[in-house]
Structure 1
Amino acid sequence: MTSRTLNLVLAASASLAFSVGAMAAGKYGPGASDTEIKIGQTMPYSGPASAYGTIGKLHQAYFKMVNEQGGINGRKVNLISLDDGYSPPKTVEQIRKLVEQEEVLATFNTLGTAPNSAIHKYMNAKKVPHLFLSTGATKWADPKAYPWTIGWNIAYQSEGMIYAKWLLKNKPNAKVAILYQNDDYGKDVLKGVKDGLGAKAATMVVKEATYEVSDPTVDSQILTLQASGADTFINITTPKFSAQAIRKAFDSGWKPLHIVNNVGASVGSVLVPAGLDKSKDLITLQYYKDPNDPQWKDDPAMLEWRAFMGRHYREGDPKDASNMYAYLTAQTLHQVLKQCGNDLTRENLMKQAANLKNFKLPLLLPGMAINTSPTDFFLMEQGQLAKFNGTQWVLFGELIGAND
């Protein structure tokens, strides 16, 4: 072999070794490396929505467990979870810190419609994945205008439409009073209700009342709605105010058909504080298994969930549906990070989030699966109605979608 040939062979070998090494090392965006995946979020650990703080605490427990088991594709997840007090200006401040100082790969499950609305344009301008938001606002599924944002919850408008369609079928002459949070979240569910009622909305909805998250109580609003003569009450509130509304309606002697939206229907964080006896016969929409429902007592996925709570998040309340929700959202992010393989760029992370195919989480209701595409950012499109019997929610009917 001539020296020239030997040099060519050595150069080729070196080039091949470099290529293999580069492939093994992977492709990385900010916050990712051979050993770490840095993810950020804000949560209301304080303030009027602090009941939701347990979601962020469970996320931290979940990824601590994942890291102890070896991480995802050999990398540890570093979840940085900051308190925003459910205050949009604070959310902006904390998210900027996560993106510009911590340089996270993505944000995950940031909670609340108003907080996420405050960072919506910023995240897309920065081209940072704004993943699996903890809010059902319909605007999170707009891949054309906001390709870096994707929600997780069932869309609020879809939920409102499902309640409306059920009322039209089962109580077409209802006199409906509605309490809603005065922001994009409350208005989104309200729009779904009215769209679902269609032409009958003008006659069926007899009274509306709003509240601000800074209000101490909603007692006066409940009395106003009661005075309208309504026989049906649609309660579009977050946990603190949902508990207040349930308790005040009962204590004032008002006994309407009471529908409470999914985000305000947790047994642990809403119905127990309101009073289980005062919560009897409430109706809500569910799309994942209720940890308080005895029909799931021996369900393998539920047993696994309870084991997780007992081992990794003992301070969490297994009765609180927010903890079940947190577990499901963490599993979804886990799957997407796994699908990324060794390409942990922001572009590929968003691509994988928009490429979930028949992804079945065992704690979703039977028959449900998650599917996304580059043109469809809705993860949850179905649900099932449930009635509270004084102890737990009892499912009835079949899975239903807003367009069914």
Structure 2
Amino acid sequence: MRVTGRMLFALVLAVASLGAMSQQREDSATVSEIRIGNVMPYSGPLSEFGAIGKAEAAYFDMVNEQGGINGRKVRFITRDDNSDPATALELTRGLVEKDEVLLMFGSFGTPGNLATRWYLNERKIPQLFVASGDEELSRPRAFPWTMGWQPSYKAEGRIYANYIQAYYPRRKIVVLWQNDQFGRDLFKGIEEGLGDLNRFVVVDIAFDIADEHLDTHLSVLKQSGAEVFVFAGVPSTAARVIKLAAGFNWHPVFILNDAAASIANALIPAGIENSAGVISAAFLKDPSDPAWKDDPGMKDWLAFMDKYNHPESQNNSAALYGYAAAEALTQVLKQCGDDLSREHVMQQAASLRDFQPSVALPGIRMNTRPDNYVPIKQMRLEQFDGRTWQSFGDVIETAFTEGLKR
């Protein structure tokens, strides 16, 4: 077959057009729309954290009403994975291959994010601000398309260990931790932080999320004679544990992990008189804490909840987490300007400088670099006085860990 000049020109034009179409498909952002994918446990044992995704969806509704991001509307597509990693992978594939999302954002849980990490990195699709504190999800050299958001669970555990060493040295310690990757990581951080003082951890018990034997566990812990009790779990379980301990007339120093330390969702249900004195570490404000009633950022939060989300959820700490994460992603996309290639999105995510979410505690800022994929590396110790959280001590800088340097 003889190829004429006109045929050759048409062939070149067709190839160029296909390349442009491929690039548009790769970038998954049109002139008018940015598609963002997300998976959440809207059902199943961890459904209380589905409030994160609902708040993120509402946040982008607000952004769109205000004109979008750099003139583009956001299409936030969120799916229910029922806390199942296989389902998370299947849904993520669908969001990428059928819905053609630009990136995955804020998906909840360690197992689901680990299950999708290889797939997303092989396809060079950003997996941004995952809702997990597992250090494995912040390894830029091995997985340059996956970035965490919050302080790591191990770092949080080390904070509690350091607190115990400083204020309650050589006291007997017990730990009740949720039997999953989150609980194991936090407990491991405690062990790492205590070092030689691990011998003072007299009992540790792992419990399942649907455990029906919490009263038995609490009885064992009390009988150990421990004076310091560390809990790692979800708010609903924390409420039961605090109430059970009070029922046993057991009043140790009670340390509660950040994700469970909600006045509205844990401390009030447990009974204010039972919860007074609880210690935790945090990086976001508690929306149910009256100390923030005049805070501009929290006033904006309450107005947002009234207009875009369910008013009855305005005291939900998980919803506030979603709001803060969506605010951070919006900042990244604004920094991208008109270049919404996936590579540029990752470059901007790795170039945050002292960005402070409006609902972050004072002194908490986001900073990233190409070799630093943990945006928030600071926390503050606080104690519940029966009404509000009282911060004490300086802002704590969590260390850069080996997991980030591999």
TM-score normalised by L of structure 2: 0.88
Q: Please tell me the residue identity of whatever aligns with 1:174.
A: R
For 1:38 and 1:403, the matched residues in 2 are separated by: 34
Tell me what 1:284 maps to: 280
RMSD: 1.9
SS of 2:202's equivalent in the other structure is: strand
Candidates 103, 120, 126, aligned match of 1:129: 126
Give percent identity, aligned residues only.
42
Alpha-carbon deviation of 1:313? 1.6
Distance 1:131 1:214, change over 3 A: same
Tell me what 1:4 maps to: none
Tell me what 1:53 maps to: 50
Q: Which runs of 5+ in 1 are unaligned?
A: 1-21
Distance 1:271 1:115, change over 3 A: farther
Candidates 311, 314, 319, aligned match of 1:318: 314
Alpha-carbon deviation of 1:99? 1.8
For 1:124 and 1:148, the matched residues in 2 are separated by: 5
After superposition, give the CA deviation of every residue in 1:293-334 in whole Å (9 maximum; x if it has no partner).
333221222222221122222344222222221111010010
Distance 1:100 1:222, change over 3 A: farther
Tell me what 1:238 maps to: 234
Which residues in structure 2 correspond to 1:227-376 (within 5 Å)?
A: 227-376=223-372
Distance 1:114 1:242, change over 3 A: farther
Alpha-carbon deviation of 1:278? 2.3
27-36 vs 177-186, which moves further: 27-36
Q: How many residues align?
A: 379
Is 1:63 matched up with 2:60? Answer: yes
81-90 vs 347-356, which moves further: 81-90
For 1:163 and 1:61, the matched residues in 2 are separated by: 34
For 2:61 and 2:213, the matched residues in 1 are separated by: 37
Tell me what 1:138 maps to: 135
For 1:239 and 1:295, the matched residues in 2 are separated by: 20
Q: Which runs of 5+ in 2 are unaligned?
A: 1-19, 401-406
Alpha-carbon deviation of 1:245? 1.9
For 1:248 and 1:113, the matched residues in 2 are separated by: 29
Candidates 188, 196, 199, aligned match of 1:199: 196
After superposition, give the CA deviation of every residue in 1:212-232 in whole Å (9 maximum; x if it has no partner).
234345333222222222111
SS of 2:353's equivalent in the other structure is: coil
Is 1:98 matched up with 2:98? Answer: no
Alpha-carbon deviation of 1:30? 4.2
SS of 1:71's equivalent in the other structure is: coil
Q: Please tell me the residue identity of whatever aligns with 2:217.
A: Q
SS of 1:150's equivalent in the other structure is: coil
Poorly superposed stretches of 4+, deviation over 6 Å: none
Tell me what 2:3 maps to: none
- The answer on whether the counterparts of 1:177 and 1:230 sit within 8 Å (CA) in structure 2 is yes
Which residues in structure 2 correspond to 1:6-155 (within 5 Å)?
A: 29-155=26-152
For 1:28 and 1:366, the matched residues in 2 are separated by: 41
94-103 vs 67-76, which moves further: 94-103
Q: Please tell me the residue identity of whatever aligns with 1:326.
A: G
Q: Please tell me the residue identity of whatever aligns with 2:35.
A: K
245-254 vs 187-196, which moves further: 245-254
- The answer on whether the counterparts of 2:52 and 2:319 sit within 8 Å (CA) in structure 1 is yes
Alpha-carbon deviation of 1:115? 2.0
